[in-house]
């Protein structure tokens, strides 16, 4: 597994184009819309900081989900047939790919954080900045696994569309783009069970100096396990077919 993990890390470093794409979008969105945030307090922090965390999470989720397209292309090209003849168990192949995919979201978190500091003078102690980056990195695990499930399960032209729809729905309904406080009651209740809201909640609470909630962590872990099962099953089926 270590050799495969190193191999995937080298591939990520050599092809930073997708990472740059996931950084540019949330930073530009933050620079445009954060001046309209006003003086409201959202999710326990001021609006500019809440929006910074939401868009950092938006970029991190986008980075983690981009694995779907590359995995679908690898499957179509026969790469999974090569992995099948190695002694690497399916769950380890999925775990290594997910770990690398999670790193794709870190640049977006850092970049949006820098934008928040420069544009709105968002000031946090060093330990809270570190907690924000670490928690939003760890919190991308379910989205990396969802991307793998889509990539292993669908053809390349279908995987791209499926990832876009999943990303858009989860981002909007989970409150990464529009604060959940502005949602109708029914949508607010829905948002609270989605992994995107619980993911962003990690960031909102960390910048406010609060620990994660037990219910939030439990839901995020449950989504992670569900997507892990789906990704591993899709990997097994794809290697059986290819």
Which residues sit opposite 216 in a β-bridge?
Answer: none
pLDDT at res. 7? 55
Longest dimension (CA), the chain: 59
Q: Label residue 23 by pLDDT band (50, 70, 90).
A: confident
pLDDT at res. 83? 65
pLDDT at res. 11? 62
Overall domain count for the chain: 1
Q: Label residue 78 by pLDDT band (50, 70, 90).
A: low
Rounded CA-CA distance 99/92 in Å is 10
Find tokens 């945030």 and name the residue. 37
pLDDT at res. 2? 64
pLDDT at res. 18? 60
Q: What DSSP designation does 46 have?
A: E
pLDDT at res. 59? 93
Query: Over the stretch 55-77, which tens digit does the pLDDT of each residue have?
Result: 999 999 998 998 887 777 777 76
Which residues sit opposite 42 in a β-bridge?
Answer: 45
Mean pLDDT along residues 226-232: 93
Mean pLDDT along residues 20-45: 81
What domain range includes position 132?
2-241
Query: Over the stretch 154-202, which tens digit does the pLDDT of each residue have?
Result: 888 898 899 999 999 999 999 998 889 889 999 999 999 999 999 999 9
Tokens of 44: 């326990």
92-106, 111-125, 216-230, range with greatest mean pLDDT? 216-230
Q: What DSSP designation does 15 have?
A: -
Mean pLDDT along residues 26-36: 86
Residue 242 pLDDT greater than 60, yes or no: no
Rounded CA-CA distance 139/202 in Å is 8
Distances from the Cα of 132 to the Cαs of 29, 30, 136, in angstroms? 20, 17, 6
């Amino acid at each position: 597994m270590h050799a495969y993990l190193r191999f995937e890390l080298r591939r990520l470093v050599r092809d930073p184009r997708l990472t740059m794409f996931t950084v540019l979008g949330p930073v530009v969105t933050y620079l445009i819309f954060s001046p309209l945030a006003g003086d409201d307090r959202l999710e326990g922090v001021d609006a500019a900081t809440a929006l910074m965390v939401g868009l950092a999470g938006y970029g991190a989720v986008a980075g983690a989900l981009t694995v779907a397209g590359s995995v679908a292309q690898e499957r179509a090209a026969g790469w999974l047939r090569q992995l099948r003849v190695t002694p690497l168990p399916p769950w380890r192949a999925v775990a290594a790919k997910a770990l690398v995919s999670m790193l794709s979201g870190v640049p977006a978190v850092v970049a949006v954080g820098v934008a928040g500091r420069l544009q709105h003078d968002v000031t946090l102690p060093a330990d809270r900045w570190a907690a924000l980056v670490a928690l939003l990195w760890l919190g991308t695990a379910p989205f990396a696994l969802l991307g793998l499930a889509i990539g292993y399960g669908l053809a390349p032209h279908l995987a791209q569309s499926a990832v876009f729809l999943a990303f858009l729905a989860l981002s909007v309904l989970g409150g990464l783009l529009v604060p959940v406080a502005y949602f109708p009651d029914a949508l607010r209740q829905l948002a609270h069970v989605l992994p995107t809201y619980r993911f962003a909640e990690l960031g909102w609470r960390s910048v406010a100096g609060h620990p994660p909630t037990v219910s939030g962590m439990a839901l995020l872990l449950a989504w992670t396990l569900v997507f892990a099962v789906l990704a591993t099953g899709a990997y097994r089926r794809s290697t059986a077919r290819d």
